[in-house]
Amino acid sequence: MITKLKKIYYEKYTKKSYSISNVDLILERIFLNNNKGVYVDIGCNHPIKYNNTYILNKKGWTGINIDLDEESIKEFNKFRPNDENICTVVSDRSDEFKEIYIYHTRSTINTLSKDLVNSRNKKPKQILKKKTKSLNRIIEESRFKDQKINLISIDVENYEYEVLKNFNFKKHNVDVIVSELHDLKQKKLEITNQSLKFVTDNELYKLMTTNDYKLVNWVHSDLVFVKNNIKL
């Protein structure tokens, strides 16, 4: 009986993560007092598994989920129908055709980054060309265009800087931005091989700090940036 009570007690105070790196627990803590909010999840892949925004979705948040894979978006329409789920390629500009390196359907390593492809031993099965949309346009064409965006999460396999470099930071004033950052010289995602200098020298870090964000957490390859003087 005591063992069962202990199990119930520990389960009550144990947080379940859905992210691959537990970064969603950091986001849940940051937004502890926000039961409603809006997220944009770029490179969303799966509505639940290894997803950074599902924990907030369960809390009552809604938002935009974006992926270049149609099968992924079908899953989001099924399991997260209250969100706006969009199949498109996100880049710094709209209406350009970019090469997409496809390893297989629903792969988390499909990418627009030729540098990343060249750094891998495994090569893509096919290369497709698809038309791009900027993040600014996606938001402006969505039902959330006049709403406050609290969170942007980006995981697009070494193409994160391009997604953000022309983003209108002043207009949208996003509270928190989570972005993956790849070190192409690092063959394994191991904490012992990571370098703070690589992060702070990177163009993504410089873009974020120039736009009034500070790095508050770093989990594996996920960087958590928070707007300076944020009020939650």
CATH at 199: 3.40.50.150
pLDDT(7) > 90? no
Q: Is 9 within the bounds of a domain?
A: no
Does the pTM surpass 0.95? The reply is no
Residue 33 CA: distances (Å) to CA of 56, 169, 177: 12, 24, 18
Contact call for residues 177 and 220 (beta carbons, < 8 A): no
Q: Is 166 within the bounds of a domain?
A: yes
Residue 179 CA: distances (Å) to CA of 10, 33, 71, 131, 157: 32, 23, 23, 23, 10
Mean pLDDT, the chain, integer = 90
- pLDDT tens for 192-201 read 677 899 999 9
Tally of CB atoms within 10 A around 210: 9
Residue 40's pLDDT band, with cuts at 50, 70 and 90, is very high
Mean pLDDT of all residues in 203-211: 97
The answer for residues whose C-beta is within 8 angstroms of residue 5's C-beta and 6 or more apart is none
Q: In what order do the strands lie in the sheet with 89-91?
A: 89-91, 126-134, 97-102
Q: Is 116 within the bounds of a domain?
A: no
Residue 211's pLDDT band, with cuts at 50, 70 and 90, is very high
Query: Both ends of the chain: CA-CA distance in Å?
Result: 42
Q: Is 96 within the bounds of a domain?
A: no
Alpha helices in the chain (DSSP H): 2-12, 23-30, 54-59, 70-79, 114-119, 135-140, 160-164, 169-172, 196-201, 203-210
- pLDDT score of 11: 62
Q: Is 219 within the bounds of a domain?
A: yes
Using CA atoms of 115, 117, 119, 122 in order, give the dihedral in degrees to the nearest 10: 180
pLDDT(74) > 70? yes
Mean pLDDT of all residues in 150-166: 95
- pLDDT tens for 94-143 read 999 988 888 888 778 887 778 777 777 888 888 889 999 999 999 999 99
Pairing relationship of beta strands 222-227 and 176-180 according to DSSP bridges: antiparallel
> Residue 178's domain spans which residues?
18-90+135-227
DSSP 127: E
- Provide the number of structural domains found in the chain: 1
Q: Is 117 within the bounds of a domain?
A: no
Residue 112 CA: distances (Å) to CA of 84, 106, 163: 23, 15, 11
- pLDDT score of 9: 61
Q: Is 100 within the bounds of a domain?
A: no
Q: Is 115 within the bounds of a domain?
A: no
Contact call for residues 179 and 154 (beta carbons, < 8 A): yes
Residue 52 CA: distances (Å) to CA of 15, 23, 39, 217, 220: 14, 7, 10, 14, 14
Could you tell me which residue, 11 or 95, shows the higher pLDDT? 95
- pLDDT score of 119: 77
Burial (0-12, 13-18, 19+ Cβ within 10 Å), 230? middle
